[in-house]
Amino acid sequence: MTASSTLRAVLKQPSGVVGVALVVAHVTMALVAPMIVPHNPTLQSAGAILQAPSWTHPFGTDRLGRDLLSRALLGGREAMLIATLSTVAAMLWGAMLGLFVALQGGRTDAYVMRIVDAMVSIPWVLMVMIFVAALGVGARALIPVLSFSYGLSVVYIARAAALDFVARDFVLAAQARGERRVTILWREILPNVRDTLAVQGAMQWSWILLGISSLSFLGLGVAPPAPDWGLMIADGRGIMQAAPWTVLWPMAMLSSLIVGVNLAADAIAKALGVDRTFGVAAP
C-alpha cells in the first residue's frame, strides 16, 4: 500500500480524522509555538501569581506568575523530542533482537525470551527509578533508560510479528537458496513486519511520551524551568482545588496528544490490516 492510499484509508475513519488532526495540530504547534507564544514562558511576575484565565493570560498564570498559555503551547516540545529519540532507539534494538530470535528459534529464542520475560515483570517505573538513581535526573539521560525498558515490549511484538513469517515458504525458499541470515531478515521478513512495526512505533512513541510525562510528574524527568506538561501538572496538583487552571490545560494538551497518536495509530493499523490487539502499554 502506498503512503497516499494508506492516508486515504485512514482518513475514511472518523477516529482516524480526529487522530491525524490532533497529531498534526500538536506537531505544528510544537514547531511554530516558539514564534507565536504571547509571553516568555519563563518570565516570572511577582504581581501576577496564580491568576485565573483572563484576556492578558487566557490560560491563567502559575505560582510564579508565568503565562500558562505560553507554557502549555511549549510544554510538549522537550518530551516529544526525547520520545522521538527514545522510540527510534527502542524500535531499533527491540525489533532487531525480536526478529533475530524469531528467525533463530530454538534455544537462543528460549533463553533470550526468558530474560526478557523477567525484565518485563519488573514494573517499568521501578526500573526507570533504579536507572535514574544510577544515571542521574535529566530528561536526556532518560533516553537510554526509556529505550531500554520500552524496547522490551518491542522485542515481543517484533518477535510475534516475525514468527508469522519465519515459517512461511518464502523464508524457507531463501534458506534453501542459501541466503545469509541478515539478508533473510532484511529482505524477506522486515518488509512484511514493517507495517506492524510502524504502527507499533507510533504507539511506543505515545507511551514513551506518557512515560516521560509521568517521570516529570514524579520529578525524575524534564528539568525546570523548561515548560513541560508533566512538570506543570505536578506543580499545580497541590493547588488544583484553588487554581484548577494550573492543571487542566497541561492535562488537556498531554491527553489530546497521546489520545490523538493512538487514534491515528489505530486507524493506520486498520488501514494497513495490522492486528494491534495486543499492544499493551507498559512493557
Partner 1 sequence: MRLLSVAGLTIARAAGPVGRPVVVDAGVVLGPAQTLGIAGESGCGKSTLLLALMGIVKPGLRVAAGQVWLDGTDILSAPAEDQRRLRGPVVALVPQSAALSLTPTMRIGAQLAEALAVHGRLAPAARPARVQDLLARVRLPDPARIGHRYPHELSGGQMQRVAIAMALACKPRLLLLDEPTSGLDASTQSGILDLLDTLRRETGMAMVCVSHDIGVLARLTARIAVMYAGRIVEDRPVGAFLRHPAHPYARALLASVPRIAALVLPLSIPGRPPAPGSVEQGCAFVPRCVRSGADCVTVPAFRDVASGGRVACHAPDEGPLILPAARTGATGAVRGDGVLIVRDLMVRYGKAGPLARLVGRPAPPAVVDGVSFTLAKGEILGLVGESGSGKSTILRAVAGLWPRSAGVVTLAGSGELAAQTVQRDRRALQRVQIVFQNPDASLNPRQSVREILAQPLRLYFNATPAEVERQGRDLLADVRLDPSYLERRPGQLSGGERQRVALARAFAARPDVILCDEVTSALDVSVQASVLSLIRALCRTRGTACLFVAHDLAVVAALCDRVAVLHMGRIAEEGPATLICTAPRHAYTRSLIEIAQRNAAFGEYPEPLPS
Partner 2 sequence: MTFAQQLMTLAALALLAAPAQAEKVLNRANDLSFGGAESLDPLSPNRFYEVNDMIYSRLVRQNDAGEPSPELATSWTSNAGATEWTVTLQPGVTFHDGSTFDAADVAYSLRRIEDPTLESPVSSVLGIIGRVEVKDDLTVKIVLETPHAGLPLLLLDYRVRMIPEGSGPTIGQTPIGTGPFRVESYDPEGTTTLVAFDGYWEGRPLIDRVQFTAIPDSEARNQAMLSRQIDLNSVTRDQLALFKDNPAFQLQSFPAGGWFGIVFRTDTAPYDSAKVRRALRIAVNRQDMMTLMVGADGGTVGCDTPVRADDPYRADLDCPQDVDAARALLAEAGFPDGIDVELTTSDLEPGMVRFAEVFQAQVAPAGIRVAIKLAPSDGYWDDVWMVAPASVTSWGERPADQILNEAWRSGASWNESAYANPAFDALLDQARSTLDPVAARVLYIQAQALLLAEGGTFIPYQEDGRRVLSARVRGIKPLGEDYIRWHLVDLVE
Partner 3 sequence: MPRKIAGRLAAAWITLVVIAVVVFVGVELMPGDACTAHLGRDAARAEMLTACRDRMGLDRPPVERFALWAADLAHGDLGVSMKRERPILGIVGPRARNTLILAGAAALAGVPLAILLGFLCGLRREGPFDIVTSTVALVAMTMPEFVVASLLILIFAIWLGWSTGVVTAAYDAPALTLLLATPLPAITLALVYIAHILRMVRSSVIDTVGADFVLMARMKGVPERRIVLRHILPNAILPSISLIGLTLAWLLSGVVIVESVFNYPGIGRLAVNAVADRDLPLIQAIALLFGLFYVLTTLVSDLVAMALNPRLRSLRG
Footprint of partner 2 on this chain (CB under 8 A)? 42-44, 46, 49-50, 63-65, 132-133, 136-138, 219-220, 223-225, 235, 237-239, 241-243
Q: Is 258 in the site for partner 3 (CB under 8 A)?
A: yes
Shortest spacing between CB 216 and partner 3, in angstroms: 10
Footprint of partner 3 on 123-142 (CB under 8 A): 123-127, 129-131, 133-134
Residues 6+ apart with CB under 8 A from 3: none
- Contact between 6 and partner 1 per CB under 8 A: no
Quick one: what does residue 34 bind among partner 2, partner 3, partner 1, none, with the CB cut-off 5 to 8 Å set by partner type?
A: none
The whole-angstrom separation of Cα 246 and Cα 267 is: 33
Give the long-range contacts of residues 27-34, CB within 8 A, separation 24 or more.
27/80, 29/73, 29/76, 30/76, 30/77, 30/80, 33/73, 33/74, 33/77, 34/74
Give which of partner 2, partner 3, partner 1, none residue 176 binds (C-beta under 5 to 8 Å, depending on kind): partner 1
Q: Kindly state the cell numbers that stand for 42.
A: 519563563
CB-wise, 55 or 278, nearer to partner 3? 278
Is 214 among the residues that bind partner 3 (CB under 8 A)? yes
Identify what 63 binds: partner 1, partner 2, partner 3, none; CB under 5 to 8 Å per kind: partner 2
Q: Which distant-in-sequence residues (6+ apart) come within 8 Å of 187 by Cβ? A: 174, 179
Answer for which of 120, 197, 208, 274 binds partner 3 (CB under 8 A) is 120
**For partner 1, how many residues bind (rule: CB under 8 A)?**
16
CB 37 within 8 A of CB 73: yes
Listed residue (26, 13, 68, 9) closest to 254, CA to CA: 26
Sort 20 into a burial class: Cβ within 10 Å, 0-12 / 13-18 / 19+: buried
CA-based angle 7:28:201, to the nearest 5? 50
Q: What's the min distance (Å) between Cβ of 144 and partner 2?
A: 16
The reply on whether position 218 binds partner 3 by CB under 8 A is yes
Residue 137: contacted member of partner 2, partner 3, partner 1, none (CB under 5 to 8 Å, by partner type)? partner 2
Q: How far is CA 84 from CA 143, 192, 202, 230, 236, in A?
A: 9, 23, 10, 17, 27
Site for partner 1 in 41-100 (CB under 8 A): none
How many residues make up the chain in this entry?
Answer: 283
Is the Cβ of residue 17 or residue 64 nearer to partner 2 in the bound state?
64
Pair 144, 89: CB distance under 8 Å: yes
Q: What is the CA radius of gyration of the chain?
A: 22
Alpha-carbon span 62 to 231, nearest angstrom: 12
Q: Which residues bind partner 1 (CB under 8 A)?
A: 168-170, 172-179, 187-188, 191-192, 194
Q: Which residues bind partner 3 (CB under 8 A)?
A: 14-15, 114-115, 117-127, 129-131, 133-134, 206, 210, 213-214, 217-218, 230, 233, 237, 240-241, 244, 247, 251, 254-255, 258-259, 261-263, 266, 275, 277-278, 280-283
